[in-house]
Amino acid sequence: MKIGLHDADKTSFPNLALMKISAWHKQSGDSVEWWNPLEQYDTVYSSKVFTFTEEDPYLPENTIKGGIGYGAYDNLPEEIDRMFPDYSLYPDVNYAIGYLTRGCIRKCPWCIVPKKEGYIKPYRYWTEIVRPDKRDIVFMDNNILAADYGIEQMEQMIGQNVRVDFNQGLDARLITPEVAEIISRLKWCNLIRMAADTDIMLDTVIEKIKLLEKYGVKSWRIFVYVLTTDIESAERRCITLRDIGANPFAQPYRDFTNNIGPTEEQKQFARWVNRKWIFKRVKTFAEYKRRRTQ
């Protein structure tokens, strides 16, 4: 069989589902390639993560579609989900990706994880995810610290020839002194990520940044996602984090359920915060907007 794969979002980040589908078909003796509208295929798979990604009008009507961008909340069949990803689809990617746990204990109103994955549960061992020829692993767990299993997996990677990144962030509310010590002893391939999505969370994040400093983790190594709905609130959080030496990153709110994108002001705010050389020099959002109009 000839299989065509379509990564609808076309981001720089590899699509895990498509890599597993590719591995499963290749194991079955099928040929697999990126979908080309000028070619004929026995089966075409399309994966879409973001609801705002435009539909490709040339995809065949019988394309098998998956991902929350298509409104699909089901998981891959177990026999496919168990496959080791086919990284040959993304030859420039020099790291492994995967999950140690699935699900989350929280029910944040802006998050689709509770609906898609349910309550947190063990999923894979880190040794099943690491690539034999690469040392970096990007974990996509939604709340790795909410499960004892996740913390145990983190601890097992201490002293191993791996570097880690938890790209969805660590839940600051769950960082105890014991967890802080584990974090300090791991090797990281990126900054250590947290989130301060509300004013209430800000105090907790600051407290845990100070706790980590006691274990030798400098504040500049902390990257903090800042959900941006109300500009005044988001500015307060970003400036406070900047002032203690952390790295805030503004994320304009997007309503995935109703496919409503961020406002122009939210986008402008994110441009101010996320361009670090500007954010360090221009102290307030009002000053940034004033300079842009001059």
- Residue 61's alpha-carbon distances to 42, 45, 56, 65, 246, in angstroms, are 13, 11, 11, 10, 48
pLDDT tens per residue, range 57-100 = 999 999 999 987 887 777 899 999 999 999 999 999 999 999 99
Q: How far apart are CA 248 and CA 258, in angstroms?
A: 27
pLDDT tens per residue, range 206-260 = 999 999 999 999 999 999 999 999 999 999 999 999 999 999 999 998 765 666 6
Q: Which phi-psi region, left, alpha or beta, contains residue 223 (left: φ > 0; alpha: ψ -120 to 50)?
A: beta
pLDDT tens per residue, range 136-190 = 999 999 999 999 999 999 999 999 999 999 999 999 999 999 999 999 999 999 9
Of the candidate ranges 31-35, 118-122, 166-170, the one whose mean pLDDT is the lowest: 118-122
* Per-residue pLDDT at 270: 96
Residue 253, φ and ψ in degrees, nearest 5: -70, 135
* Per-residue pLDDT at 115: 67
Residues forming beta bridges with residue 64, ordered by sequence position? 45
CA dihedral angle for residue 139, residue 142, residue 148, residue 149, rounded to 10 degrees: -40
* Per-residue pLDDT at 210: 97
Residues, the chain: 294
